[in-house]
Chains A and B, each alone.
Chain A
Amino acid sequence: MTAVHRLVIVRHGESSWNQENRFCGWFDADLSEKGVEEARRGAEAIRNAGMKFDIAFTSVLKRAIKTLWTILEGTDQMWLPVVRSWRLNERHYGGLTGLNKAETAAKHGEEQVKIWRRSFDIPPPPMDKDHAYYKVISESRRYKGLKSGELPTCESLKDTIARALPFWNDHIVPEIKAGKNVIIAAHGNSLRGIVKHLENMSDAAIMELNLPTGIPIVYELDKDLKPVKPMQFLGDEETVRKAMEAVAAQGKVKK
């Protein structure tokens, strides 16, 4: 297997709601100051590696878009074409959107929360019309082009992956195969969908994987888009080492 293509993916950094430990999902939270700093360090890592891109993909949520903007600005590539899609959005947390961990446990019970967290295909309760964030999310102009049935009210990880992969196949893969250097700035769960697909991971295995935030992740792919080696992290030695250790330790933590 020879490396023929290169793909870079970046998971956005801390959002204002991450800070408050609230389920964010499709709520359009902004990056916190820490998240902005994470994006800057990501840009620096790409700049130091001298990496150039031809096209960028991102979601329609500002925390991912602004992460991408920071990278493009920091690497002097603001002129690149950028394609935005709801299909790269974070997983939709339905009725849990806006709740913090304590509220969620209080509302639904610890056992139910455990089931949701450990399940690949059980969705949280749907976000209904009287949810505090229903209007600002479901009625946002950005989703007006969606076909009937496409707009979710909640998603399991399986659902998220199922709507992300068509975009990967129809829009991103053709660019990679055409020899373009692609960067994707998105969210933990939509990127899990791409990683699961690239590395042919099982449902159980992908649930154990938490991609580090703000750190550019590089895949070298063969002509069939199979990774020729494990994902590489870009950054200074310490950042990379810490990230690799954190990822390695994930599978071993008992939840």
Chain B
Amino acid sequence: MSRPFGSNRLPIGQFSVSVNLSTAVLPYVPVICHLRKQLRSERFDSLRSMTKHKLFLLRHGEGAWNKENRFCSWVDQRLSEAGVTEAQECGRLLKERGYEFDIIFTSILSRSVQTAWLVMEAMGQEWVPVVKSWRLNERHYGALIGLNRAEMALNHGEERVKVWRRSYDVTPPPIDESHPYFNEIYSDRRYVTCDIPKEELPRAESLKEVLERLLPYWNDVISPQIKQGKTVLISAHGNSCRALLKHLEGVSDADIADVTLPTGVPVLLELDDNLRPLKARQLLGDPAKIQAAIKKVEDQGKATVNTK
């Protein structure tokens, strides 16, 4: 929008002040321009803070199988003692920072529910409503479920395993009735309560397929809560959290492979009214602890079997 040079409007609050520039005032133009820029950015900041929504993501901590480096996926493991401690410390941190949740979403795998409960207990927020859905479940690893990462590398080769784990759209081989964990998963009552028939539930997923079943839930159920001004916690899994981050932050298919979420570290996303991030995601807590947690997850990915 072009304006005649002689008149400039300074946006001060809701009112505009007309400033007529004459030659006498010219020396002050740089100051005025700077002031305008400052006022405009401050106004935008205050506007942005008015529309700032807080979304917290939390990847649950260690389960029994994490220690053994086996793909847990849809097998319903509980947290190990270390995983319980991770969740309690996370809760203590969130309480210290004074955060207050209005609603909490979890998957229907016990370890994500357990994590949420431990956080709620530490924060004295046991009364907050909790909503659970299979659409926040961990990625379904198909036939690879229960296999040790190192053994898998031995059986299928490091490269193949790397592709399954880190590519965006390559689906692992599906689980079938011959798989040792097939019945444990598919005869479980919880999978008859899902919003699609049991027969239509996945038998294996790429990260892309995780996002495909997560997105409708994000759009229809979680987003409206955030837009209503609720502070939301999503207590879920490594890959369901990564899939959501990819969507929210617009991470490319190639780059998402390098995004690793540490366990037990709350991730704060500040979103505008269109649920776009206003700034980079923040991992909350002591930087040294966060670094250690990131390294722990990365090391698990590199684990090799001792062939001696």
* Residues on A facing B (Cβ under 8 Å): 28, 52, 54, 60-62, 65-66, 69, 73, 76, 78-79, 81-84, 141-142
What residues on A are CB-neighbors of B109 within 8 Å? 79
**In the complex, what distance in Å separates the CA atom of A65 from the CA atom of B126?**
7
* Complex contact A78–B127 (CB within 8 A): no
Contact partner of B127 among A54, A69, A142, CB < 8 A?
Answer: A142
* Complex contact B110–A65 (CB within 8 A): no
* Complex contact A60–B114 (CB within 8 A): no
- Give min CB distance, A13 to chain B, whole Å: 16
Closest to A73 in B: B114
* Residues on B facing A (Cβ under 8 Å): 76, 100, 108-110, 113-114, 117, 121, 124, 126-132, 189-190, 193
**In the complex, what distance in Å separates the CA atom of A193 from the CA atom of B268?**
43
**In the complex, what distance in Å separates the CA atom of A50 from the CA atom of B25?**
86
With A28-B124, A76-B76 known, 17 other A-B pairs at CB within 8 A are A54-B193, A61-B127, A62-B121, A62-B124, A62-B126, A65-B126, A69-B117, A73-B114, A78-B110, A78-B113, A79-B108, A79-B110, A79-B113, A79-B132, A79-B190, A81-B132, A84-B127
> Contacts A66-B126, A78-B114, A79-B108 hold; do A141 and B100 have CB atoms under 8 A apart?
yes
* Complex contact B110–A82 (CB within 8 A): no
What residues on B are CB-neighbors of A81 within 8 Å? 131-132
**In the complex, what distance in Å separates the CA atom of A61 from the CA atom of B124?**
10
What residues on A are CB-neighbors of B76 within 8 Å? 76
What residues on B are CB-neighbors of A76 within 8 Å? 76, 110
> Contacts A76-B110, A79-B108 hold; do A52 and B189 have CB atoms under 8 A apart?
yes
Contact partner of A62 among B108, B127, B130, B131, CB < 8 A?
Answer: B127
What residues on A are CB-neighbors of B190 within 8 Å? 79
User: What are 30 of the A-B contact pairs (CB < 8 Å)?
Assistant: A28-B124, A52-B189, A60-B127, A62-B121, A62-B124, A62-B126, A62-B127, A65-B126, A65-B127, A66-B121, A66-B126, A69-B117, A73-B114, A76-B76, A76-B110, A78-B113, A78-B114, A79-B108, A79-B109, A79-B110, A79-B113, A79-B132, A79-B190, A81-B131, A81-B132, A84-B127, A84-B129, A141-B100, A142-B127, A142-B128
What residues on A are CB-neighbors of B131 within 8 Å? 81
What residues on A are CB-neighbors of B189 within 8 Å? 52
What residues on A are CB-neighbors of B113 within 8 Å? 78-79
Of A52, A79, A141, most B-chain CB atoms within 10 Å: A79
What residues on B are CB-neighbors of A62 within 8 Å? 121, 124, 126-127
Of A54, A61, A81, A83, most B-chain CB atoms within 10 Å: A81
**In the complex, what distance in Å separates the CA atom of A141 from the CA atom of B264?**
26
**In the complex, what distance in Å separates the CA atom of A231 from the CA atom of B108?**
32
Closest to A54 in B: B193
What residues on A are CB-neighbors of B108 within 8 Å? 79
- Give min CB distance, A8 to chain B, whole Å: 17
**In the complex, what distance in Å separates the CA atom of A250 from the CA atom of B135?**
50
What residues on B are CB-neighbors of A61 within 8 Å? 127
What residues on B are CB-neighbors of A60 within 8 Å? 127
**In the complex, what distance in Å separates the CA atom of A66 from the CA atom of B127?**
10
Closest to B108 in A: A79
What residues on B are CB-neighbors of A142 within 8 Å? 127-128
What residues on B are CB-neighbors of A82 within 8 Å? 130
- Give min CB distance, B166 to chain A, whole Å: 29
What residues on A are CB-neighbors of B114 within 8 Å? 73, 78
**In the complex, what distance in Å separates the CA atom of A84 from the CA atom of B130?**
9
Closest to A89 in B: B127
Of B109, B110, B126, B190, most A-chain CB atoms within 10 Å: B126
- Give min CB distance, A116 to chain B, whole Å: 28
Of A28, A65, A83, most B-chain CB atoms within 10 Å: A65
- Give min CB distance, A123 to chain B, whole Å: 24
**In the complex, what distance in Å separates the CA atom of A65 from the CA atom of B76?**
22
What residues on B are CB-neighbors of A73 within 8 Å? 114
What residues on B are CB-neighbors of A84 within 8 Å? 127, 129
- Give min CB distance, A47 to chain B, whole Å: 15
Top 5 nearest A-B pairs (CB, nearest first) are A60-B127, A79-B108, A62-B126, A78-B113, A78-B110
- Give min CB distance, A66 to chain B, whole Å: 7
- Give min CB distance, A94 to chain B, whole Å: 21
- Give min CB distance, B123 to chain A, whole Å: 11
What residues on A are CB-neighbors of B100 within 8 Å? 141
**In the complex, what distance in Å separates the CA atom of A59 from the CA atom of B100?**
19
**In the complex, what distance in Å separates the CA atom of A82 from the CA atom of B128?**
11
**In the complex, what distance in Å separates the CA atom of A82 from the CA atom of B113?**
11
**In the complex, what distance in Å separates the CA atom of A66 from the CA atom of B109?**
19
- Give min CB distance, B184 to chain A, whole Å: 12
Closest to B117 in A: A69
